[in-house]
Amino acid sequence: MKKTIPKFMNEDEERDFWSSHDSTDFVDWSSAEKITLSNLKPSTKKISLRLPEMMIEELKILANKRDVPYQSLLKIFLAERIAKELGSQGR
């Protein structure tokens, strides 16, 4: 029999509770189901990146051909390359 999760007055109280208690005492994780939270937007962080002007111009040309902003195209290129690099590490 699992313990009952107490009612919390606010998030701070709940955060304090979970920082000192193990969830396995309260939740049967073996019966948990996986779900996809597809509507969540990933958090972003602004960075500063210095690129050669010619590279930016070429990126803008490629982005224009695809009808997307060049910053978005840069994110696509980075995501594809990161996935490729991480995929090749497992081989």
Distance of CA 32 to the CA centre of its chain: 22
Exposed, middle or buried: residue 42 (CB in 10 Å: 0-12, 13-18, 19+)?
Answer: exposed
Q: Where are the domains of the chain?
A: 1-31, 43-91
Determine the pLDDT at residue 43. Answer: 85
Weakly modelled stretches of the chain, pLDDT under 50: none
Asked if 28 and 2 touch (Cβ cutoff 8 Å), the reply is yes
Structure tokens at 56: 């930016």
pLDDT at 42: 81
pLDDT at 39: 83
pLDDT at 91: 54
What local confidence, expressed as pLDDT, does residue 90 receive? 62
**Which pLDDT value is given to residue 35?**
87
